[in-house]
Each structure stands twice: as structure tokens, then as C-alpha cells.
Amino acid sequence: MRFRPRHYILIAIIVALGVFNFMRRHHAPTPQPAASQPAIAITHAVPPESAAAWDAFDKTAALRDAPNEQFQPAIQSLLKQIDAIQPAAAAVDVKGCETWLMFYRQGVLHPSSDATWKTRSTQHLDTCVKTHQDSGQ
């Protein structure tokens, strides 16, 4: 069988497609396997004198979207626990998280078109809960 010009063109196209696919696979990013190690969470040690306040914070944070009838007793209990912490320096983290809880609550009670405070408050509260719960409380 003699090759005609169209045969040479078809062979050239087939070779070009093969080279193209080889180069495409060679330069394509390879998927990285998932990390075999679990992510390490950053935790902070909870001072024993503030453990009761963190428990009260957990209960209050769980009720952050609840009606005032449920939320107010929980926040009052949290504030009593914060006031009972001695030395006062151990209460700094709990007070900070309580402040963000109140920011969040204000966003729930007085919704506006600006959702940034509620979003920032939600992120901070989630971090507060994770940080002290992961430390063994």
C-alpha cells in the first residue's frame, strides 16, 4: 500500500494529538493527598478559678438566640460567676468573650442592614467556645 498525501496529514495529526496530550498531562498540577495528620487545634489552658465562669459562659452562649426570658437568667448567672473569680486577672478572657456575646445579642435584638457586627461576634464567640472547651473543660 502506498501512502498518499492525506495519509501523511492524518499521521501528523495523530502524532500532534499524542504529543499535546502527553504535554498536557506532564504540566498539569498533580492533586496533593490529604494531610495524614489531623489539624492541631490551638488551645489555651483554663485557670481552675475561672472554670465555673466558662461553664456559665457555655450555657449562656448556647442561649444566645433565645428569647429574653431564657437569656437574661443565663447572663445574670454568668456575670455572677465572673464577679466571683479571684484573682481578677483570671477573668479577663471570660469578660472579653462576654462582651462579644453582648455585641452578638445586640445584633439579634436590633437587627440592621449592617451584618458585620453579628458576623464578627459570631466568629469570636465560636472561637471562645472552642478555645476553652478544647482545653479539657
pLDDT in tens, the chain (137 residues): 788 889 999 999 999 999 998 888 877 676 666 555 555 454 556 677 888 888 888 898 888 888 889 999 999 999 999 888 888 877 888 888 888 888 888 776 666 666 676 777 778 777 877 766 544 44
CB 105 within 8 A of CB 84: no
Q: How far is CA 96 from CA 6, 90, 134, in A?
A: 79, 11, 18
pLDDT, residue 72, reads 92
**What's the chain's Rg over C-alpha atoms?**
30
pLDDT, residue 33, reads 60
The three three-digit cell numbers of residue 117, written as one number: 457586627
Q: Model-level pTM?
A: 0.57
Q: What are phi and psi of 36, to 5 degrees?
A: -80, -20
pLDDT, residue 30, reads 65
pLDDT, residue 43, reads 52
**In the chain, where are the structural domains located?**
48-133
pLDDT, residue 134, reads 44
Nearest to 56 by CA among 41, 73, 37: 73
